[in-house]
Structure 1
Amino acid sequence: MAAMRGRMRKEIAMLESDPPFGVSAWPKDDKIDQLEAQILGPDGSPYDKGVFQLEIEIPERYPFEPPKVRFLTPIYHPNIDDGGRICLDTLKMQPKGSWLPSVNITLQYKGMNNQVCIAEFSQEFVVPVEML
């Protein structure tokens, strides 16, 4: 728990001093293991001008386990389910995913922002057309 808290303090300071474009994040109720975030829909995408709220739960074993991220703002996207869960390989443990302890929250936000822009139809949340 102490390792997670120390790392999160550094990552939150990094987010505050040099946030990724279109992303803001802050601790929820001053809890370092719960964050709230806001990302802007990428320019030129179907989500352009959209503002999306997210919640992030940091597990005790972070960075050896990925954070749990969920969209609070409803969004229609093939890689985000109706509960707001994001199908992003970098948020899953190996071997199914590609989570690495060296990845920080800032890089995750960049990945989520890119995910909103790109529909990856090979991911598990996509419903096959024949089932519609």
Structure 2
Amino acid sequence: MNDRNLARGLFLVAVSLAFGLTALRYPIGDFARAGAGLFPVVVSSMLLLIGIATVVRSRFVQKVHLDFHPKNIAIILGSLCAFAVVTLLVNMTAAIVTMVFIATLAGTTYSWKRNVKIAIGLCLMALVFAKLLGMNLPLY
């Protein structure tokens, strides 16, 4: 299988089934009184439909070669690990900045100005989650 579109669709189907089948262990309820499993089941069902549509579409469009870059995968995983470690040792704001600057090393271009803008945007989103939604995040 060397078709990027087919691989993308199969990956979406696998992720949706993994989360959807796990969510079925929780009470679903109904839309008037939603249970803990209703939202994950609905979201994974929509993701399953998108995955199936992507698999079907891959049969009708020209195949796109699937490139595999283990170095980039390692960089992204390293940035996520650095995020977790810096969050524990310092705070989440520093961890977001660290993650952005490490993760963008996997791209084809590198711009510290773009990284600063992305980090500021993510920090603002985390602040919204903490202040407006009342989530307990160690931002500072």
- Normalised by the length of structure 1, the TM-score is 0.25
**Greater gyration radius:** 2
Q: Which has the higher helix share?
A: 2
- Normalised by the length of structure 2, the TM-score is 0.25
Q: Which has the higher strand share?
A: 1
